[in-house]
């Protein structure tokens, strides 16, 4: 039995971790950490856990709590884990961090985009970027997992096969992304009030969103070079979901007749199948079927597809996922399963909810 602890258990991602781990046959949640609700019963914070979770919330004294568990999930704001992580802690417990503290390998890039000083850069090199479909083997032997976020997971997985196979110009990628409001967290913020969000859609973080360098870094590894992308997120009035629409220029290749041609549908589909045909949680949809958030809600699936625009020589790639599951907690559980030699899909074989 894997003993788990959750710091930030009362945020949206933390709450989703509790829901998923409660249904995992090989996990016991030993404690629920929450600065905001110390000594309050967890089921009073999330009433869906009434008569399911009887524990009270504890302070987040990670040094002491680490001694009681095998893995700690930190569903906390940027900067928290970096400010408290020590070699002593990492020698006792594995950590799956849902923040961005260890996702970027260049500490200067992290500090530039997140506007905070990184307090423990000595752990950045060993941290493994926990996008399981790409870094599965590295995850298995890690102590510290940098769990990717929702925008980045969807954006990277949607374009990865075509970047990796050199079918598109990676520097031409433009990402239009839309998220439900739970992606902004549970804290009270005026821009997220019902009257601000309802009947509205708005772009934010235009040219400055801090997930941009993360997408560039990971797709850059696939491309074998540094790349730059345009990434623009939008807030939409729904609870859950990420939808990305990505545009890129196709690269012409010589056909059997020697004529330079854009890749065909069959060639692009073959690239997606090469990387995802055996992946449990990435579903490449049938031709002309566009991903929709409602068909992945409440699940760990990512739905992807594409459409070639022969008129312009560009391709439109599309992806959808649940930002709280595959975009956060589900991915964290997937990483935990790999860390402890569990079946990768254990606790995650959730049929998407509808309606």
From-to residues of CATH 3.40.50.720 in the chain: 2-126
pLDDT confidence band for 258 (50 / 70 / 90): confident
From-to residues of CATH 3.30.360.10 in the chain: 151-323
| pLDDT attached to residue 346 | 98
Q: 151-323: what CATH class?
A: alpha beta
- Name 144's bridge partners: 95
- CA neighbor of 346 nearest in space, from 178, 355, 337: 337
Give tens-digit pLDDT for 118-156.
Answer: 999 999 999 999 999 999 999 999 999 999 999 999 999
Range with the poorest average pLDDT among 157-161, 165-169, 184-188: 184-188
| pLDDT attached to residue 47 | 96
Please state, as a whole number, how many other Cβ atoms lie within 10 Å of the Cβ of residue 25.
9
Rounded percentage of the chain residues whose pLDDT exceeds 70:
100
Mean pLDDT of the chain: 96
Whether pLDDT at 191 is above 90 = no
Whether pLDDT at 48 is above 80 = yes
| pLDDT attached to residue 198 | 92
Helices in 39-181 by DSSP H: which ranges? 42-45, 62-65, 80-84, 87-92, 107-114, 132-140, 150-164
CA contacts within 13 A on the Cβ side of 34: 24
CA distances from 232 to 179, 228, 277, 307, 308 (A): 11, 13, 29, 20, 22
List CB contacts of 91: < 8 A, sequence separation 6 or more.
none
Largest CA distance in the chain: 73
**Assessment of whether the complete model's pTM goes beyond 0.85:** yes
Mean pLDDT of 340-351: 97
Please tell me the distance from the alpha carbon of residue 131 to that of residue 148, in angstroms, as a whole number: 6
Q: Which tokens go with 66?
A: 């680490």
| pLDDT attached to residue 254 | 81
As a CATH number, domain 2-126 is: 3.40.50.720
| pLDDT attached to residue 132 | 97
Give tens-digit pLDDT for 78-88.
Answer: 999 999 999 99
**For residue 55, is it left (φ>0), alpha (ψ between -120 and 50) or beta?**
beta
List the catalytic residues: 150
The beta-carbon contacts of 205-212 under 8 Å, at least 24 apart in sequence, are: 205/232, 205/233, 206/232, 207/232, 209/151, 209/233, 210/100, 210/113, 210/114, 211/149, 211/151, 211/152, 211/155, 212/113
Whether pLDDT at 190 is above 90 = no
Whether pLDDT at 185 is above 90 = no
CA contacts within 13 A on the Cβ side of 93: 24
| pLDDT attached to residue 184 | 79
**Taking a C-beta distance cutoff of 8 angstroms, is the pair 40, 57 a contact?**
yes
Please tell me the distance from the alpha carbon of residue 83 to that of residue 34, in angstroms, as a whole number: 17
pLDDT confidence band for 253 (50 / 70 / 90): confident
Angle at 180 between CA 179 and CA 183, to 5 degrees: 80
Q: Burial of 54 by CB count in 10 Å (0-12 exposed, 13-18 middle, 19+ buried)? A: exposed
| pLDDT attached to residue 109 | 97
Mean pLDDT of 44-53: 96
Q: Which tokens go with 102?
A: 């260890």
**Taking a C-beta distance cutoff of 8 angstroms, is the pair 173, 322 a contact?**
no
């Amino acid at each position: 039995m894997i003993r788990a602890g959750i710091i930030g258990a009362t945020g949206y991602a933390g709450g989703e971790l509790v829901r998923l781990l409660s249904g995992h046959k090989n996990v016991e949640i030993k404690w629920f950490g929450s600065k905001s609700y110390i000594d309050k019963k967890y089921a009073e914070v999330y009433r869906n856990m009434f008569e399911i979770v009887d524990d009270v919330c504890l302070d987040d004294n990670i040094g002491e709590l680490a001694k009681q568990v095998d893995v700690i999930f930190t569903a906390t704001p940027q900067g928290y884990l970096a400010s408290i992580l020590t070699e002593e802690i990492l020698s006792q417990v594995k950590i799956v961090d849902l923040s961005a503290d260890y996702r970027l390998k260049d500490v200067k890039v992290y500090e530039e985009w997140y506007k905070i000083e990184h307090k423990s850069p000595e752990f950045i090199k060993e941290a493994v970027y926990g996008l399981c479909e790409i870094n599965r083997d590295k995850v298995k032997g890690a102590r510290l997992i940098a769990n990717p976020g929702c925008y980045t997971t969807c954006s990277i997985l949607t374009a990865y096969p075509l970047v990796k196979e050199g079918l598109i110009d990676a520097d031409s990628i433009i990402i239009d992304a839309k998220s439900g409001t739970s992606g902004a967290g549970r804290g009270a913020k005026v821009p997220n009030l019902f009257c601000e969000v309802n009947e509205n859609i708005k772009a934010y973080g235009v040219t400055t969103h801090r997930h941009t360098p993360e997408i560039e870094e990971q797709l850059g590894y696939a491309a074998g070079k540094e790349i730059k992308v345009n990434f623009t997120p939008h807030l939409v009035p729904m609870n859950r979901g990420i939808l990305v629409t990505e545009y890129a220029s196709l690269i012409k290749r010589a056909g059997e007749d020697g004529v330079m041609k854009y890749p065909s549908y069959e060639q692009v589909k073959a690239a997606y199948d090469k990387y995802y045909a055996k992946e449990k949680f990435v579903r490449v949809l049938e031709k002309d079927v566009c991903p929709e958030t409602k068909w992945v809600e409440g699940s760990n699936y990512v739905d992807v597809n594409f459409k070639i625009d022969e008129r312009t020589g560009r391709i439109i790639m599309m992806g959808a996922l649940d930002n709280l599951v595959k975009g956060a907690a589900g991915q964290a559980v997937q990483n935990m399963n790999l860390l402890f030699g569990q079946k990768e899909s254990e606790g995650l074989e959730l049929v998407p909810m509808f309606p």
